[in-house]
Amino acid sequence: MKYIEVEQKSRLLSPVDGLKATLTERGAKRESSRQVDTYFNAPHRDFLGGEIISEWLRIREAGSASLNFKWWHPLEEKIKTHCDEYESAISDAEALRRTLAALDFTELTVVDKTREEWHLDGIALAFDSVTGLGDFVEFKGEAGSVEQATAAITEFVDSLGIELGEKINAGYPHLALGIHPSV
């Protein structure tokens, strides 16, 4: 499903070391990064203007840089199940930041996190430590449909035998701005 992302995020209640050992035993591949995400609001359409926030535009800097737009679905529902995601590499993040400022885009928030991402059985599992917000675990699935990806994530989590906290149906910018949809 190119350009569609299905993810589930929670606080982790089980010990991380045991889960990492299980992932290693099952042959998961791991990579680590620091990601600094700067989120912007558009002058022609206020992303924060409605009761339901469904859009984000960001520049990610993590060694390389990218521009990303997420459009969360269902659009008018507080709880989102997936998003259209369009991301492209950029060669000069500062030039793009200046371009957006010249076009009257405004910076909303910066999310600074360290991510340890593991890949196994078509699932990406990320341990995120987000400055000012805490520690999270995020699962992303790939499949032929949103429903299949959601089912694959559920089956994968169940196979790990871990205890997760309540699902967080919001992105890190929601949390950073204090606009979590369940609030």
SS3 at position 17 = helix
The count of other CB atoms within 10 Å of the CB of residue 12 is 15
Question: What are the residues whose beta carbons fall under 8 Å from the beta carbon of 98, sequence distance 6 or more?
Answer: none
At residue 49, φ and ψ (nearest 5 deg) are: -70, -30
Provide the pLDDT confidence category of residue 182 given band limits of 50, 70 and 90. low
Question: What are the residues whose beta carbons fall under 8 Å from the beta carbon of 149, sequence distance 6 or more?
Answer: 1, 6, 82, 141, 142, 143
pLDDT digits (tens, 9 = 90+) for 16-46: 888 899 999 999 999 999 999 999 999 999 9
8 Å CB contact between 89 and 64: yes
**pTM, to two decimals:** 0.92
pLDDT at 131 over 80: yes
pLDDT digits (tens, 9 = 90+) for 76-118: 888 888 999 999 999 999 999 999 999 999 999 999 999 999 9
